[in-house]
Amino acid sequence: MMSDFHNGSLTQKKPYAITRGKVIFDFSLMYCDTPSKLLQSELFTMIINGFIKRIETKQSRVFTFLQECVPLRRRESLTKYMTDLFRLLASHTAAEIIVMNSQYYDVLSDKEYLLEFIEELYNYWRRFERYMYIEAPKRSHYTQQSIHHAQFIKLHVELKTIVLETYRHVRENLLGFNPRVYRQLPAGANMGILLEKIDWKYPEGLNFVKDVAFIRLAIMESPLILYPKMNKRKGAFKEVFNLKEDMLLLIPEQWMCYPAKIGTLTAFIYFHRDFISQGLSLCNLFEIADYEDIDDKSPDIMLFVGLKNMDFAGETVFYEDRKTGTLIGMIRYGEDIDYFGYFKKMPLTLHNIVMLERGRLPLHGAMTSLTIKSGTNAGVVIVGDSGAGKSETLEALRTLADEHIRDLKFIFDDMGSLNFSDEKGITGYGTEIGAFVRLDDLQPGYAYEEIDRSIFMNPDKTNARLIIPITTYYDITRGYKVDIVLYANNYEPVDETHPVIEFFDTPEKALTVFRNGARYAKGTTDEKGIVNTYFANPFGAPQRRDVHEELATAYFNKMFELGIKVGQIRTQLGVEGFGQEGPRAAAMELFEVIKGLRN
């Protein structure tokens, strides 16, 4: 199990935490604007102490050198000895230091060893995931003012600058000359957040969450590479009907809340700080809610990630508060849930349940609205579960943009909903401004075109993922007309009897395929081989199956009545050897279908 925030409990007395490869610190309490202040900080002392313990355990040659050079009486306080030396090197050359204090003669005599110490210490710091935060005074509206946004961004940049400056001063004063190449590495905070406590209408019995601060602003040093413990999600989201107050007890100082706009809904996503890397990665997926969406309001959805008092059989459950209508999701604390898929799929499950209650049909799939150069416009929805090839096909379609497509907008990349009105017909709405996609299945070059804004998760492992913004909040909530709805069939090879795209002639035939939800599972969850999932959507549809079945029947009948083309597209993503070629062939065929449409 993961450590709690002790040795670094985030209270008013302790402005930082070092835990599970992460450094989290309150920059307002540890502000450094000079190398001297940085080297005198408590956090620097903790970092250099941890590094010395590491090289001592390894008995590295650098540690052996220090043992030989440092006076015997100083070895017990090697951390202080090296910290004092660094403070001198920040402003004096090695030669000057030897003249001032002869005790440093031996350690400065062999500069290569000390240079190796400096470089390894620098890399040791940079290998941590580093998060800075500042908390604004409660109800100050500090986070609403653009001047304070600018100040916060400036502080983030200053931290990076002062770390680089300190490293370079120490290195250059040791060697006595300047380098010929300067590398502007991300040496400060990987992410910075501005926090604020805001009063809101919480459900009865949950008054203890009122002291958890909301994330109001985030800044990211991208591209960001993270290494969570897990690289896939498992299990299902089950509904529970009894909730005890003590199950949600938490220590506010150890938690944060990401207020997310999920489509038109507001979700308060609470997470224990041990999961900060996953929680802050939400900024590439969901829009941060406005102050007016929080102040004196009740959210549509609440989610708690990292609960230690959960007393349910499953790791992931949800509860509907009948008094307020708020859906409350709960995920148990543990390394097994250290995966971004839980932060994404649980809120979307709750979103889908709300949509069903409001008469909208949720879909697990992707949608784009595009206009080809002939002027034809089409809203294309591809439905499919994880690994079915829906996103990959639309991404392959995007590669045709320069040559054949005038305009292309992504409405949703994983989860959306359909709505019907007499004025607009059937329209599609999204939930996310970003995408959480498999790196292995993307078209060559895609990740590198967009690398400067991305968050990479476990890029060295199977099911490596990329979180990247792909659209705007305006586009996902505007509502775009739907012209084509396809089921992503990833397991059948294309041949004479199985065309790339096959359209159905009755709602019943279409419903049979969509309801069956067959796909070849590629191991992105805990499933493998040919599996069936009701409407390819384990996120809300099975939990409210009766309501979903009634709505799905009504919507599919309406699609055929309105002349919307409904069928299946064979992406072949699960067919050996067609991981790239399958979606590309599907995209080309889809493009031909769109060319034949008449607006």
Return the bridge partners of 424, or none: none
**Tally of domains within the chain:** 3
Shared domain for 84 and 48, answered yes or no, is: yes
452 in any annotated domain = no
The amino acid that residue 569 corresponds to is I
Q: Whole domain around residue 577: which residue ranges? A: 361-433+470-595
Domain boundary among 304, 337, 357: 357
440 in any annotated domain = no
7 in any annotated domain = no
Domain boundary among 340, 357, 374: 357
Domain boundary among 298, 328, 357: 357
Shared domain for 557 and 412, answered yes or no, is: yes
pLDDT of residue 406: 87
495 in any annotated domain = yes
> Which helix (DSSP H) or strand (DSSP E) does residue 493 occupy?
none
453 in any annotated domain = no
ω into residue 179 within 30 of 0, thus cis? Answer: no
Phi, psi of 484 (to 5 degrees): -135, 130
Q: What is the pTM of this model?
A: 0.90
Shared domain for 292 and 389, answered yes or no, is: no
Shared domain for 291 and 166, answered yes or no, is: no
Shared domain for 352 and 399, answered yes or no, is: no
Q: What is the dihedral of CA 483, 489, 494, 497, to 10 degrees?
A: -80
CB 166 within 8 A of CB 60: no
pLDDT of residue 6: 33
Shared domain for 171 and 212, answered yes or no, is: no
Shared domain for 397 and 279, answered yes or no, is: no
* C-alpha to C-alpha distance for 471 and 426, rounded to whole angstroms: 21
Task: Divide the 599 residues of the chain into consecutive groups of 10 and give the mean pLDDT of each group.
Answer: 36 74 92 93 94 93 90 72 94 94 90 95 96 81 68 91 95 90 89 93 85 94 90 85 82 94 97 96 96 94 92 85 90 92 95 97 95 91 90 80 82 95 95 86 54 87 87 95 96 94 97 96 69 94 96 98 97 89 92 85
CB 476 within 8 A of CB 411: yes
- In the numeric block, which tokens belong to residue 485? 């709805």
Shared domain for 82 and 49, answered yes or no, is: yes
Shared domain for 151 and 30, answered yes or no, is: yes
In 3D space, the residue among 296, 344, 305, 597 whose CA is nearest the CA of residue 466 turns out to be 344
- Could you identify the residue written with the tokens 């008995």? 59
463 in any annotated domain = no
Per DSSP, the residues of 189-258 read -SEEEEEE-----PPTT-GGGGGSPEEEEEEE-SSEEE--S-SS--S--EE-S---GGGG---GGGEEEE
Domain containing 511 — which CATH number?
Answer: 3.90.228.20
181 in any annotated domain = no
Shared domain for 316 and 419, answered yes or no, is: no
Shared domain for 399 and 259, answered yes or no, is: no
Other CB atoms within a 10 A radius of the CB of residue 128 amount to: 16
> Which helix (DSSP H) or strand (DSSP E) does residue 369 occupy?
strand 361-372
DSSP state of 289: P
Shared domain for 162 and 308, answered yes or no, is: no
186 in any annotated domain = no
pLDDT of residue 1: 31
In 3D space, the residue among 247, 261, 244 whose CA is nearest the CA of residue 434 turns out to be 261
pLDDT of residue 354: 97
CA distances 2 to 131, 132, 207, 314, 536, Å, are: 18, 21, 27, 19, 34
Phi, psi of 291 (to 5 degrees): -55, -40
pLDDT of residue 200: 94
pLDDT of residue 4: 36
- Could you identify the residue written with the tokens 């604020």? 196
CB 120 within 8 A of CB 62: yes
